[in-house]
Amino acid sequence: MKIKQSKSDNELLQEISNKLSDLIAINGILNKNKEDQIIYLANQGYSNADISRLIGIPKGTVDVIRAKSSKNKKK
């Protein structure tokens, strides 16, 4: 039987830091429409999968909105 190892203090602090970053990002997208939320989070460095997880929409939807946004910027 394997014994589950505890996380180190540094690992716990990193996890807490990541969660706080997510909360700050979510606060920044309140009262914005989905497209603006996605663009904001993408500009903050979040991946499409992370954006999907944070705002609760399918990753494919995030992919499409980011692709459309990218095309509009090129025009």
| Residues 27-64 pLDDT 10s | 989 999 999 999 999 999 999 999 999 999 999 999 99
Q: Is residue 70 part of a domain?
A: yes
**In whole angstroms, what is the distance from residue 51 CA to residue 53 CA?**
5
User: What confidence score (pLDDT) does residue 12 get?
Assistant: 92
Q: Is residue 11 part of a domain?
A: no
pLDDT of 2 over the 80 cut:
no
Count how many domains the chain has.
1
**In whole angstroms, what is the distance from residue 59 CA to residue 42 CA?**
13
Taking the model in full, what pTM does it have? 0.76
Q: Is residue 4 part of a domain?
A: no
Q: Is residue 10 part of a domain?
A: no
Q: Is residue 9 part of a domain?
A: no
Q: Is residue 33 part of a domain?
A: yes
**In whole angstroms, what is the distance from residue 7 CA to residue 14 CA?**
11
Range 17-32 average pLDDT? 92
More confident residue, 49 or 70: 49
Q: Is residue 55 part of a domain?
A: yes
Q: Is residue 3 part of a domain?
A: no
pLDDT of 3 over the 70 cut:
no
Helix (H) or strand (E) holding 75, with range, is none
Asked if 29 and 41 count as a contact pair (C-beta separation under 8 A), the reply is yes
